[in-house]
A and B are shown apart, each in its own frame.
Chain A
Amino acid sequence: MKRPKRRAARRRAVLEKGQPLRRIEVTINGEEFDLTFKPARTLLELLRDDLDLTGTKEGCDGGECGACTVLIDDEPRLACLTLAATLRGKKILTIEGLAKDGRLHPLQRAFLEKGAVQCGYCTPGVILSAKALLDSNPAPTEEDIKKALAGNLCRCTGYQKIISAVLEAAAAP
């Protein structure tokens, strides 16, 4: 069995020593940002710690749970494994940017109505993975959904209601 890979914060501090700060322009939830940070900053840290966008969750910090899923240029990505420095000029969508002018996205509505949320910790990541799926495949089958969301762990719901919610959102006008 493989030994777990852990974030080696200390090793990172050594690596970063003497390295210049990174500066990028990036669009997050439609808003433009000009950000400066240490070279090894992950997108997850940038969102949660620097910008206080805590809707993106950290479940493992190792790319294993999907709770930190966000959309980068419309593709689902794990924020805990993404270096912020690589995001120059990119468009990022987090859960906070999904509802438009107070109107819920059909996925958000369907997750509520179908009971696809329990503790809600996986929910932001699951919804964003599902959005990426629906954007590229507006009428997915159950199998399509399972494949697209296999990387998002949920310990509460047993997944069945998540599948129903995604199907419902796909069918929404």
Chain B
Amino acid sequence: MADLRVVGHSHPRVDGLDKVTGTARFSPDIKLPRMIVGKILRSPHPHAKVFHVDTSRAARLPGVKAIVTAADTPDGNRRSSTYQFDDQGERAASSTPMVMDQTVFCEGVARFVGDEVAAVAAIDEETALEALSLIKVDYDLLPPVFNPLKAMEPGAPLLHDVERNIAYKFVIRRGDVEEGFAQAHVIHEEIYTTQLQHQAYLGPTACVADVDGAGRISLWTELQSPFRARRLLSDMLGLPASKVRIFQTHVGGGFGGKHFKRVQPICALLALKARRPVRLCLTREEEFIASPPRHATHIRLKMGASRDGALVAKETYIVLNSGAYGEVGPIILDTMTKRVDSLYRFANIKTDSFLVYTNTVPGGAFRGFGNPPMDFALESHMDTLAEKLAMDPVELRLKNARRVGEVSAHGWEVKSCALTECIEKAAEASRWKEKRARAKSSRSKPRGIGIGCMIHVSGCRYYPGFYGSNAVVTIGDNGQVYLLSGESELGQGCKTVMAQIVAEELGIRVADIVVPDLDTDFSPHSLGAYADRTTHIGGNATRLAAIDAKQQLFEFAAEMLEADPGDLVAQDGRIFPKGSPQRAVTFLEVARRSWFRAGGKEIVGRGSWDPPSVPPDPESQYGNVSSAYTFGAQVAEVEVDPKTGKVTILNFTAAHDVGKAINPMAVEGQLEGALVQGAGYGLMEDMVGVDGRTYNPNFLNYRLPTMLDIAPMKIMMVESNDPVGPYGAKGVAEPALVATAPALANAVYHAIGVRITSLPVTPQKILAALRAKEAKRRSE
């Protein structure tokens, strides 16, 4: 792959011009003739019977065009956000079944503050809000439960019809942990907790729905998986899939938070009832209180290491606070339960993990998907073990690091892996040895340096059915090329990456390629943006589609060149027989010929690719779930003010095994963005809930990192050239956030000698820990 001309070179975004000039339309920007405004009525109570919803007064308010409640939803509108099908498209009884616990509106019982009870569409926002205030709901308060550990106790109020509120659980046994601990030279046990973190994409979620005379419904909205949404919508609305069409607008950030939500079916129901286009846009407050954030977790971890640092046993107990509904909780729990076990060469593992309902906002997908909280626990633990062994934390990690060619305890086959290289590079570039040895007592604000490592997937298969991607590449009358992909552009840059792949294969410029917005009527089926699957899986499908188009085009070129089509090369806008560039015809000439000559045809290249991964066995949970695993190491240097507890990040060094960077500038952008999000997770972001109410549902009180909070970031892309990925590429967007919080917590420990075991690492927690340490020292 030495002479790649487009792939591997930085390229500006193909949708960038639209975005810098203000013409890019996001879902809240869509406006249709006769469009009216939708608003949602939400439960003010964390747990209550919903006796009766009286909409009669609201209905009489002039300007109100539709009111919908649970009574307007078809029977059996239960759903889960997961998308797990067998080869007939039936819901698969896979390793992690869906939790089918959520309906369009809460039915009979409201389970969190924000649970959707009814919705109104009216001629303007004022009227819609007025109408909401006229809807009378009779609630009968039920005892709520907010703490998942309490929710598991006998006698706790039950949210759904499941024992001890346990929505899902895993029991994992590998090797023999007792035996492992018996061999250990050091053993450490600790409880870690992590908080709710909101995706806080800047663009709110909106949906515009319109119904035509034939009863066909079109939606303009922002989705990470439009095809999944079409399926769920048709299920929930009781309409055939042919009656649902989804247009993807520009997406104002996703990070896991723009999967199918109740917004879309509610908006559709309003439009169906009003027979007018309806726009439903969530306010920032609604985004915070009712869009699934990253779950809060409770982790008890016990690990043992031998004298030379080999990790000999790992025992984990996990409680994942699901909130009011299951959402994608089961597979997030799956990730927490198993993923880090393949980072190091663990053999003896015992894990019990639980997804537990409480009367709080349902948790959902967020960049890293269960990996960040568990990685925080594991990587914090690694440093404590290293200290107990009097070993350098880097050395301990190198000693246990996963290597290429290995099969992990859960059956993961590691075909490419540059973890060791990442650790070494990050350590070297951050001047680890020197800074680690530095005497820290001399400063009034001690400095510390810490490391975190991580593993992630490039797509993760949880069920036996299709997990792949389809793409279509067509060539137009003037040599312009259309790339249709079912994968979702969220801002991460997949349109550009896919266009680069097509340009590479067809020997043309990215500027010659049109990448239309996704439309479920025309775009080929793909699963969408999650689990870091887009570049790896969608990229492979796109590459195959481009190759297919190229082969068809070569048939026409061969006529012109009187050559064998199998012998042709496409490069720099020209097509020529291998070794004879002087005999070239232009891409344009051939394209025109295919389009215009008698007996010609429109070239339509097709590509389908389903990764060679297998779902975990439902019993043993063993199985090679991804076709490529990603690795990385991050080093953070911090300064801590012991008087105020304030942590200042001095710099980050991040080395990530990306397989192959198709668009290095975009990869760098993913890594930088994730580091800052990860720093937010590690140090500041926290949705504060009191009695089931979110007390900071706005950017004033839920603080995101600003430009003033960032520190220099040294990014290193390590290319392990994965044998399966397109040009060797693996996923990159999610991994970059996973190891950031533990790197920061470890740096704080190195600076001031207190270990904060609960995220975020706030000044209050640091001061309390310093005081406790001081008290202990005095009493000794």
Interface string of A1-26 (1 = CB under 8 A from B): 11010110110110000000000000
Which residues of chain B from 687 to 717 have any CB-CB distance to chain A below 8 Å in the complex? 688, 695-701, 704, 706-708, 710, 713
Output the nearest chain A residue to B667 by Cβ-Cβ distance. Answer: A115
When distances are taken between beta carbons in the complex, the residues of chain B under 8 Å from A147 are 708
Known: A10-B126, A150-B708, A161-B672. A58 touches B204 (CB 8 A): yes
A154 with B669: CB separation less than 8 A: no
Cα-based distance from A4 to B193 in the complex (angstroms): 27
Cα-based distance from A112 to B20 in the complex (angstroms): 8
Known: A12-B126, A112-B13, A119-B201. A155 touches B677 (CB 8 A): yes
B284 with A62: CB separation less than 8 A: yes
When distances are taken between beta carbons in the complex, the residues of chain A under 8 Å from B253 are 118-119, 121, 155-156
Output the nearest chain B residue to A63 by Cβ-Cβ distance. Answer: B700
A149 close to chain B: CB less than 8 A: yes
B283 with A6: CB separation less than 8 A: yes
When distances are taken between beta carbons in the complex, the residues of chain A under 8 Å from B126 are 9-10, 12-13
B252 close to chain A: CB less than 8 A: yes
A32 close to chain B: CB less than 8 A: no
Which residues of chain A from 54 to 82 have any CB-CB distance to chain B below 8 Å in the complex? 54-62, 64-65, 67
User: Smallest distance from the beta carbon of B258 to chain A beta carbons, Å?
Assistant: 10
Output the nearest chain B residue to A126 by Cβ-Cβ distance. Answer: B707
Cα-based distance from A2 to B703 in the complex (angstroms): 13
A118 with B669: CB separation less than 8 A: yes
When distances are taken between beta carbons in the complex, the residues of chain A under 8 Å from B28 are 54, 58
Cα-based distance from A171 to B251 in the complex (angstroms): 31
Interface centre among A64, A114, A120 (most CB of B within 10 A): A120
When distances are taken between beta carbons in the complex, the residues of chain B under 8 Å from A127 are 20
A118 with B491: CB separation less than 8 A: yes
B179 close to chain A: CB less than 8 A: no
Partner pick for B674 among A60, A122, A158, CB 8 A cutoff: A158
B245 close to chain A: CB less than 8 A: no
When distances are taken between beta carbons in the complex, the residues of chain B under 8 Å from A114 are 665
B779 close to chain A: CB less than 8 A: no
B125 close to chain A: CB less than 8 A: yes
User: Smallest distance from the beta carbon of A2 to chain B beta carbons, Å?
Assistant: 7
B283 with A121: CB separation less than 8 A: no
User: Smallest distance from the beta carbon of A157 to chain B beta carbons, Å?
Assistant: 5
When distances are taken between beta carbons in the complex, the residues of chain A under 8 Å from B673 are 118, 155-158
User: Smallest distance from the beta carbon of A71 to chain B beta carbons, Å?
Assistant: 13
Output the nearest chain B residue to A122 by Cβ-Cβ distance. Answer: B202
Partner pick for A112 among B16, B125, B284, B675, CB 8 A cutoff: B16
Known: A149-B707, A155-B253. A121 touches B201 (CB 8 A): yes
Known: A9-B125, A9-B126, A161-B669. A113 touches B710 (CB 8 A): no
When distances are taken between beta carbons in the complex, the residues of chain B under 8 Å from A161 are 668-669, 672
Partner pick for A119 among B129, B202, B676, CB 8 A cutoff: B202
The interface residues of chain A, by DSSP majority, are classed as loop
Cα-based distance from A146 to B12 in the complex (angstroms): 24
Cα-based distance from A61 to B697 in the complex (angstroms): 13
A61 with B19: CB separation less than 8 A: no
Output the nearest chain A residue to B670 by Cβ-Cβ distance. Answer: A118
User: Smallest distance from the beta carbon of B401 to chain A beta carbons, Å?
Assistant: 27
When distances are taken between beta carbons in the complex, the residues of chain A under 8 Å from B701 are 1-2, 4
Cα-based distance from A62 to B201 in the complex (angstroms): 16
Known: A6-B285, A61-B283. A121 touches B203 (CB 8 A): yes
Chain B's interface size range is: 35 or more
When distances are taken between beta carbons in the complex, the residues of chain A under 8 Å from B21 are 55, 95-96, 98-99, 104, 108
Which residues of chain A from 89 to 107 have any CB-CB distance to chain B below 8 Å in the complex? 94-96, 98-99, 104
B56 close to chain A: CB less than 8 A: no
B668 with A10: CB separation less than 8 A: no
User: Smallest distance from the beta carbon of A76 to chain B beta carbons, Å?
Assistant: 14
A37 close to chain B: CB less than 8 A: no
The interface residues of chain B, by DSSP majority, are classed as loop
User: Smallest distance from the beta carbon of B316 to chain A beta carbons, Å?
Assistant: 31
When distances are taken between beta carbons in the complex, the residues of chain B under 8 Å from A60 are 284, 698-699
B220 close to chain A: CB less than 8 A: no
When distances are taken between beta carbons in the complex, the residues of chain B under 8 Å from A159 are 672, 676, 706-707, 710
B29 close to chain A: CB less than 8 A: yes
B255 with A160: CB separation less than 8 A: no
B129 with A155: CB separation less than 8 A: no
When distances are taken between beta carbons in the complex, the residues of chain B under 8 Å from A154 are 202
B25 close to chain A: CB less than 8 A: yes
When distances are taken between beta carbons in the complex, the residues of chain A under 8 Å from B31 are 52, 54
Partner pick for B10 among A115, A120, A153, CB 8 A cutoff: A115
A170 close to chain B: CB less than 8 A: no
When distances are taken between beta carbons in the complex, the residues of chain A under 8 Å from B10 are 115
When distances are taken between beta carbons in the complex, the residues of chain B under 8 Å from A48 are 29
Cα-based distance from A65 to B283 in the complex (angstroms): 13
When distances are taken between beta carbons in the complex, the residues of chain A under 8 Å from B13 are 112, 115, 117
A120 with B250: CB separation less than 8 A: yes
B442 close to chain A: CB less than 8 A: no
B284 with A158: CB separation less than 8 A: no
Partner pick for A120 among B24, B697, B698, B707, CB 8 A cutoff: B24
A117 with B16: CB separation less than 8 A: yes
User: Smallest distance from the beta carbon of A104 to chain B beta carbons, Å?
Assistant: 7
A59 with B284: CB separation less than 8 A: yes
Interface string of B619-638 (1 = CB under 8 A from A): 00000000000000000000
Cα-based distance from A108 to B199 in the complex (angstroms): 27
Which residues of chain A from 27 to 70 have any CB-CB distance to chain B below 8 Å in the complex? 48, 52-62, 64-65, 67
Cα-based distance from A25 to B564 in the complex (angstroms): 70
When distances are taken between beta carbons in the complex, the residues of chain B under 8 Å from A9 are 125-126, 129
B354 close to chain A: CB less than 8 A: no
Cα-based distance from A57 to B252 in the complex (angstroms): 10
A4 with B698: CB separation less than 8 A: yes
When distances are taken between beta carbons in the complex, the residues of chain B under 8 Å from A145 are 707
Output the nearest chain B residue to A2 by Cβ-Cβ distance. Answer: B701
B284 with A163: CB separation less than 8 A: no
When distances are taken between beta carbons in the complex, the residues of chain B under 8 Å from A115 are 10, 12-13, 665-666, 668-669
Interface string of A116-132 (1 = CB under 8 A from B): 01111111100100000
Partner pick for B201 among A52, A54, A155, CB 8 A cutoff: A155
A121 with B252: CB separation less than 8 A: yes
Cα-based distance from A159 to B598 in the complex (angstroms): 54
When distances are taken between beta carbons in the complex, the residues of chain A under 8 Å from B491 are 118-121, 156
Listed by A's residue number, 17 A-B pairs whose Cβ atoms lie within 8 Å are A4-B696, A4-B697, A9-B126, A57-B252, A60-B284, A65-B284, A96-B22, A98-B21, A104-B21, A112-B20, A115-B666, A119-B490, A120-B16, A152-B707, A157-B669, A161-B672, A162-B707
Known: A64-B700, A153-B202, A159-B672. 9 other contacts (CB 8 A): A1-B688, A52-B31, A57-B252, A62-B698, A65-B284, A115-B665, A119-B203, A119-B251, A156-B673
Give me the 4 closest cross-chain CB pairs, A-B, nearest first.
Answer: A55-B22, A119-B491, A120-B19, A95-B22
The chain A residues found within 8 Å of chain B, CB to CB, are 1-2, 4, 6-7, 9-10, 12-13, 48, 52-62, 64-65, 67, 94-96, 98-99, 104, 108, 111-115, 117-124, 127, 145-147, 149-163
